[in-house]
Structure 1
């Protein structure tokens, strides 16, 4: 049975792609087939093959299924700004139903585990009354939360978890990701508080890695609660 999840972050730049790739690698090490989608990505670069996003390319390398780039990242926007602003400047409309169609195509491609990575935080806008959080709602899939371990992370994590719950979705698990070379003050105490208050299992704690090697990070994760039983 295919297991599919939406990967959300407590904010932008908290390491969603790094964690997503590490989860894909960890599942693959357990003999499972994997696939991933980054439905919308800004900050893309023009190449001979068209616009390409570094995060989406990383996911494409990390997963075991061979899918064309357009399935991994169907909406590629050049400016490294909020997706709805980048789309407006490009004269494009971001449609959740079309994104869901691409995601369903990947979800039916035969992988054991499919991860759909969001952009920014939970309430990233796609238009005047449209948010990226509507995508996992339309797909009716659980959420994995990436918590960027820094000052303020407890508040951001709890508010995001509450929003996920209010939207009618389950929080399947969370990952604590240390993104800064500067040690966080009282990391153990912050982790203990999050473990007590977040209503989902901790899937792993990723230490700061200047190389951002997702294969090394996979060793710090236990994706068992996410995998087919």
Structure 2
């Protein structure tokens, strides 16, 4: 693949637990396999475990495995919270307050590394609160970052996907593409749901990941169209 200028993408989902990390890491794997340098950021992570080096989040650790640039854990996940609940609630339980401008600063620090492909993974869905006035969606908005939407294929996903796409566009951000991620082996009418999503979502589908919990990001990388993503994004 021809070397691309540095690109950065924000990965969001139709809900929590829809496969954002799976897709983010798989995109990084695809970029690395194409000979591109990679970096990642998960600005806020709830549900962290205490390790010898401090609080660590399994999603952020997975992203770290697919970064070719030498980033510290704290650069990849600057805000690590213990409880696996909404970030603003997890922060409040620790006597902390999340602030958008600080997260933007952390993100700019990673973006200054100028990796060919940088992936920033959100938390939960698009409109996740940081505090009483700010939302995590303000981070890609502040950085004018193209968004990749992960659609977890389950009952209700069409409505969730349409509403999320509308919110992203209403916030003035480009929807660079979306990925269909199967969340079970036996979703009713899965093919018909996917056909509807292909018809109604205003962005290209970058790939469809089957229900395969044991698959690694390296396995999934070939199922994502990185070339289309880099060719069509601004």
Same fold (TM over 0.5): yes
Q: How does 1:3-152 map to 2 (within 5 A)?
A: 3-152=7-156
Q: What secondary structure does 2:114 align onto? A: coil
CA distance in 2: counterparts of 1:130 and 1:177, whole angstroms:
29
Q: For 1:111, what is the secondary structure of its paired residue?
A: coil
- The structural deviation recorded for 1:92 is 0.9
CA RMSD of aligned residues (A): 1.1
Deviation, 1:15, is 0.6
- The whole-number CA distance in structure 2 between the counterparts of 1:119 and 1:155 is 20
> In the aligned structure 2, how far is the partner of 1:212 from the partner of 1:179?
13
Residues 77 and 87 in structure 1, CA contact (< 8 A), matched pair in contact too: yes
Task: Please name the residue that 1:221 is paired with.
Answer: 224
User: Which residue among 162, 180, 185 is the counterpart of 2:166?
Assistant: 162
**After superposition, what is the alpha-carbon deviation per residue over 1:58-102, rounded to whole angstroms, capped at 9, x for unaligned?**
000022112000000000000111100010111111111111111
Provide the aligned length of Structure 1 versus Structure 2.
Answer: 228
Gaps of 5+ in 2: none
TM-score by length of 1: 0.97
CA contact (8 A) 1:3 1:228 kept: no
Residue pair 1:147, 1:157 contacting (<8 A) in 2 also = yes
Q: Which residue of 1 aligns with 2:211?
A: 208
* Alpha carbons 1:2, 1:228 under 8 Å: kept: no
- In structure 1, stretches of 5+ residues that fail to align are none
TM-score, structure 2 length as denominator? 0.95
Aligned mates of 1:122, 1:212 — CA distance in 2: 26
